[in-house]
């Protein structure tokens, strides 16, 4: 699995960090997504997929 984020599209809702804290974080100054692990382990696949679905602006892309 490969994960990418679009920081320009992100609105800082934080749903990704709540769903998959090992993969996503937020910048302190504005809440914009920070990708902590672009190639997370398979056991986090469900959490990462959930984070992508929960993103209100579809700023997260997940490739198998």
Q: What is the pTM of this model?
A: 0.95
**Residues 17-63 pLDDT 10s:** 999 999 999 999 999 999 999 999 999 999 999 999 999 999 999 99
**Percent of the chain residues topping a pLDDT of 70:** 100
Q: How far apart are the first and last CA of the chain?
A: 4
The pLDDT value given to residue 13: 97
Coil vs helix vs strand at 52: helix
Domain 2-63: CATH architecture, name and number where available: 2-Layer Sandwich (3.30)
The pLDDT value given to residue 43: 98
Q: What are the residue boundaries of the structural domains of the chain, listed by start?
A: 2-63
Cα-based distances in Å from 8 to 42, 47, 59, 60? 27, 23, 8, 11
């Amino acid at each position: 699995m490969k994960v990418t984020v679009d920081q320009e599209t992100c609105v800082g809702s934080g749903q990704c960090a709540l769903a998959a804290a090992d993969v996503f974080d937020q910048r302190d100054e504005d809440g914009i997504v920070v990708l902590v692990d672009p190639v997370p382990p398979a056991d986090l696949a469900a959490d990462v997929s959930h984070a992508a679905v929960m993103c209100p602006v579809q700023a997260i892309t997940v490739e198998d």
